C-alpha cells in the first residue's frame, strides 16, 4: 500500500504535473472553510482535528480562515493514527508524531477530521478508532485537500478540495509551506 | 536486520533518540485518557521470562505490553518446569513452539539473553542479565533525564555505588555516552569492575569531589550478589558513598537524584533525599512503562524493525 507521503519510486523519466498552485490551494482552503461554516451554523460546537503530517497544518489554516470569515475560534487538535493502523505489519514502523487533544475536548462536538490526501481510507478508519478513545463526538466529518480515489473501505469525504483521478502507480504529493517550504499539489510517476 | 534489544550498545544515537521520541509521543497520546490502551500489538504474544525475582521490571513490561493490546504470558522460574530441571534452551524451544512474538528475559547469568536470541525466531528483549546489562533501564533513565533537564548532550552524570555488580550502570554508561552525556563513576575500588578504565566514563573514588553534576544516580548495594565483603561495614559505606541531606545540599540547584530501585533507604540514599523534590525515583517507574511500550512497538509493530 502506498500513501502520499511514501518515498517516490524512480521519477526521473516522468516529470511532476502541477495539479494545484499555491493560489489554487488558498482558494480551495477558503472554500472548504466556508463549507464547514455553512454546515455547522457558523462553526458552532465544531473542532478541527488534523492527521499528521500535513493534515495538522491544514487544520490550522482552516481554523485561521474560519476566524477571518466569521470571527469564530474553532479549537484545533492533532491526532496521530499510526498506533491504530491495521497495515502496520505490512510496512515499516514509522516514527510517531504528536497528538494533542483540542481545547475543550471532542465530546458531543462536530469533529472535522482534516487530511491532505484521501486514498485507501485506512488512515481515516484508524483515525475514527483513535478518536473513540478521546471521547464520543456528536458527529464526525472528513475534509481532504485531494481525493484521489481507489478506496479500500466504505469511507467518503464531506469536504473535498479537488478530485484527482489517478492510477495506483501515480503519487499525489501535497506540499505545504509549513512542512515543505512551499504550497503545491503535484502528481508524480505513472503513465510515461 | 537485528530485531532484539540485548545491549544498550545495540543502539546508535539515532535509534536511541527514536526510542525516546516514540516513548514521548506515546505518553502524550495516552495522557489524561480514561482508557490507557492502544490496539497496536493486537494478536501478538509477549512472554515475560523471568528466571530471577523482579517486581518493577516485570510489572512494567507486562503493563507496557498490555497497554499495546498484546497478549502477555508471565513465566517465572519458581514453580515452573525450570525448577524441574529444564534447560534454558528447552524452555526457549517450548516458547518458540507456542509462537511467542517477543520474549522479555531476566536471568541471573550474564549473556543468557544473547544465547536465547540464537534459538528463537521472535524478538528478545534483555530485561537484565546477571551483572551485565539492563538496556531498558538505561533508556528510561535517559528519558527521565531528558524530560527533567531538557537535554542529554553535555549533561554531567555521576553514577555512584556498586558499579561492579550493576547492569544498570553498565547499560547507562553505554547509552549515555552514545547520547553525548559525560559520565563519572564513583565507587570504592573494590566495587569497580576489571577494565573499567576502558569504559567511556571517568572514574573517581571520592563522592564529595564528584557532586558538581546535573544528575546523581545512586546504585543499590546488591547484598544478594556479594559473597565476599567488599567494604568494611554498611555504616562506613554509607558515610563515604551514601547520598545524605548534606551532600544533596552541595548539588547544583536544578540537579536531580535518580535511583533505579529498589532502594536501601539509609544505606546508599537517605530517606529525606529519596523523598525530596530532586528525586525522580517515582517518575522513573512511570517513564519505564512508556519507554518499554516504545521498545515493544518498534520491535514488533511493523514489518521492518528500525532498531
Kindly give the confidence (pLDDT) of every residue in chain A, 192 residues in length, as a single tens digit, with 9 standing for 90 and above. 444 455 555 544 567 899 999 999 999 999 999 999 999 999 999 999 999 999 999 999 999 999 999 999 999 999 999 999 888 777 777 788 888 999 999 999 999 999 999 999 999 999 999 998 888 999 999 999 999 999 999 999 999 999 999 999 999 999 999 999 999 999 998 754
Q: How far apart are CA A166 and CA A176, in angstroms?
A: 21
Which of A80, A91, A100 has the CB atom closest to B302's CB atom? A91
- Cross-strand pairs, A100: A78
**Which chain A residues have any C-beta within 8 angstroms of a chain B C-beta?**
80, 83-84, 88-101, 129, 133-134
Other CB atoms within 10 Å distance of the CB of residue B189:
10
Q: Is residue A158 part of a domain?
A: yes
Q: How far is CA B255 from CA B155, B211, B248, B252, B280, in A?
A: 10, 10, 9, 5, 11
Q: How far apart are CA B65 and CA B295, in angstroms?
A: 10
**B4 included as an active-site residue:** no
Which of A92, A95, A98 has the CB atom closest to B28's CB atom? A98
Please, what is the Cα angle at B54 between B53 and B56, to 5 degrees?
Answer: 165
What's the domain count of chain A? Answer: 1
Q: Closest Cα partner for B157 from A190, B39, B149, B165?
A: B149
Q: Is residue A181 part of a domain?
A: no
Q: Which three cell numbers stand for residue A137?
A: 463526538
Other CB atoms within 10 Å distance of the CB of residue B217:
29
Query: What integer pLDDT is reported at residue B110 of this predicted model?
Result: 94
Q: Closest Cα partner for A108 from A77, A73, A139?
A: A139
Q: Is residue A182 part of a domain?
A: no
Q: Is residue A187 part of a domain?
A: no
Q: Considering the entire predicted model, what is its pTM? A: 0.86
CB contact under 8 A, A95 and B21: yes
CB contact under 8 A, A96 and B21: yes
**B57 included as an active-site residue:** yes
Q: Is the ipTM of this complex over 0.85?
A: no
What is the extent of the structural domain holding A140? 24-165
Banded model confidence at residue B228, pLDDT cuts 50, 70, 90: low
Query: What integer pLDDT is reported at residue A11 of this predicted model?
Result: 46
Q: How far apart are CA B51 and CA B67, in angstroms?
A: 24
Instruction: Find chain B residues with C-beta within 8 A of A92's C-beta.
Output: 302-304, 306
Query: What integer pLDDT is reported at residue B177 of this predicted model?
Result: 97
Rounded CA Rg of chain A: 16
User: Residues 6 or more apart from A69 whose CB is under 8 A from it?
Assistant: A33, A34, A37
Q: Is residue A156 part of a domain?
A: yes
**B84 included as an active-site residue:** yes
Q: How far apart are CA B76 and CA B142, in angstroms?
A: 28
* A99 vs B144, higher pLDDT: B144
Query: What integer pLDDT is reported at residue A32 of this predicted model?
Result: 98
Instruction: Find chain B residues with C-beta within 8 A of A96's C-beta.
Output: 21-22, 25-26, 29
Average pLDDT over residues B24-41: 88
Residue B227 has pLDDT above 70, yes or no: no
Q: Closest Cα partner for A144 from A41, A5, A34, A28?
A: A28
Residue B147 has pLDDT above 90, yes or no: yes
Q: Is residue A111 part of a domain?
A: yes
Q: How far apart are CA B133 and CA B163, in angstroms?
A: 12
Instruction: Find chain A residues with C-beta within 8 A of B68's C-beta.
Output: 83
User: Residues 6 or more apart from A95 whose CB is under 8 A from it?
Assistant: B18, B21, B22
Banded model confidence at residue B34, pLDDT cuts 50, 70, 90: confident
CATH classification at residue A64:
3.40.50.2020
Task: Supply the mean pLDDT for chain B.
Answer: 92
Q: Is residue A170 part of a domain?
A: no
Other CB atoms within 10 Å distance of the CB of residue A137:
22
Q: Is residue A5 part of a domain?
A: no
Question: Which phi and psi angles does B285 have, rounded to 5°?
Answer: -65, -45
* Domains defined along chain B, listed by start: 8-134+285-300 (3.40.50.1370), 135-281 (3.40.50.1370)
Query: What integer pLDDT is reported at residue B32 of this predicted model?
Result: 77
Q: Which of B302, B304, B305, B306 to mutate to test the interface with A (most CBs of A within 10 A)?
A: B302
CB contact under 8 A, B33 and A133: yes
Q: How many CB pairs under 8 A join A and B?
A: 57
Query: What integer pLDDT is reported at residue B232 of this predicted model?
Result: 85
Amino acid at each position: 500500500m502506498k500513501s502520499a507521503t511514501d518515498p517516490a519510486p524512480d521519477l526521473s523519466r516522468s516529470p511532476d504535473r502541477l495539479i494545484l498552485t499555491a493560489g489554487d490551494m488558498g482558494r480551495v482552503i477558503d472554500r472548504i472553510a466556508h463549507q464547514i461554516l455553512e454546515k455547522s451554523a457558523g462553526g458552532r460546537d465544531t473542532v478541527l482535528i488534523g492527521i499528521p503530517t500535513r493534515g495538522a497544518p491544514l487544520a490550522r489554516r482552516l481554523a485561521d480562515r474560519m476566524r477571518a470569515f466569521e470571527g469564530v475560534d474553532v479549537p484545533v487538535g492533532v491526532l496521530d493514527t499510526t498506533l491504530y493502523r491495521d497495515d502496520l505489519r505490512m510496512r515499516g514502523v514509522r516514527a510517531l508524531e504528536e497528538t494533542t487533544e483540542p481545547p475543550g475536548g471532542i465530546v458531543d462536538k462536530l469533529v472535522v477530521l482534516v487530511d491532505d490526501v484521501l486514498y485507501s481510507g485506512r488512515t481515516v478508519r484508524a483515525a475514527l478508532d483513535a478518536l473513540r478513545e478521546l471521547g464520543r463526538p456528536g458527529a464526525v466529518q472528513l475534509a481532504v485537500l485531494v481525493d484521489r480515489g481507489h478506496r479500500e473501505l466504505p469511507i467518503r469525504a464531506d469536504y473535498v478540495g479537488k478530485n484527482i483521478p489517478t492510477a495506483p502507480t501515480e503519487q499525489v504529493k501535497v506540499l505545504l509551506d509549513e512542512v515543505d517550504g512551499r504550497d503545491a499539489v503535484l502528481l508524480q510517476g505513472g503513465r510515461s | 536486520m537485528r530485531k532484539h534489544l540485548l545491549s544498550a550498545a545495540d543502539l546508535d544515537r539515532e535509534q536511541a533518540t527514536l526510542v525516546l521520541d516514540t516513548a514521548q509521543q506515546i505518553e502524550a497520546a495516552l495522557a489524561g485518557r480514561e482508557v490507557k490502551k492502544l490496539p497496536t500489538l493486537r494478536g501478538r504474544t509477549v512472554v515475560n521470562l523471568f528466571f530471577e525475582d523482579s517486581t518493577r521490571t516485570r510489572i512494567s513490561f507486562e503493563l507496557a505490553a498490555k497497554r499495546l493490546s498484546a497478549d502477555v504470558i508471565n513465566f517465572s522460574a519458581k514453580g515452573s518446569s525450570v525448577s524441574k530441571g529444564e534447560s534454558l534452551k528447552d524452555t526457549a524451544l517450548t516458547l518458540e513452539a507456542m509462537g511467542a512474538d517477543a520474549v522479555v528475559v531476566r536471568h541471573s547469568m550474564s549473556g543468557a539473553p544473547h544465547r536465547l536470541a540464537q534459538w528463537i525466531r521472535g524478538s528478545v528483549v534483555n530485561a537484565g542479565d546477571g551483572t551485565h546489562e539492563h538496556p531498558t533501564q538505561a533508556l528510561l533513565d535517559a528519558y527521565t533525564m531528558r524530560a527533567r533537564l531538557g537535554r542529554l548532550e553535555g549533561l554531567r552524570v555521576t553514577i555512584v555505588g556498586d558499579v561492579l555488580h550493576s547492569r544498570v550502570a553498565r547499560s547507562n554508561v553505554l547509552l549515555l555516552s552514545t547520547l553525548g552525556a559525560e559520565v563519572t563513576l564513583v565507587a570504592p575500588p573494590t566495587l569497580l569492575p576489571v577494565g573499567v578504565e576502558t569504559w567511556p566514563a571517568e572514574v573517581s573514588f571520592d563522592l564529595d569531589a564528584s557532586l558538581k553534576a546535573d544528575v546523581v544516580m545512586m546504585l543499590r548495594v546488591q547484598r544478594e550478589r556479594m559473597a565476599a565483603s567488599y567494604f568494611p561495614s554498611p555504616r562506613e559505606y554509607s558515610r563515604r558513598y551514601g547520598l545524605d541531606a548534606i551532600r544533596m545540599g552541595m548539588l547544583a540547584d536544578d540537579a536531580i537524584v535518580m535511583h533505579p530501585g529498589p532502594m536501601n533507604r539509609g544505606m546508599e540514599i537517605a530517606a529525606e533525599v529519596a523523598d525530596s523534590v530532586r528525586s525522580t525515583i517515582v517518575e522513573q517507574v512511570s517513564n519505564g512503562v512508556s519507554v518499554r511500550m516504545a521498545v515493544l512497538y518498534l520491535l514488533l509493530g511493523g514489518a521492518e524493525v528500525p532498531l
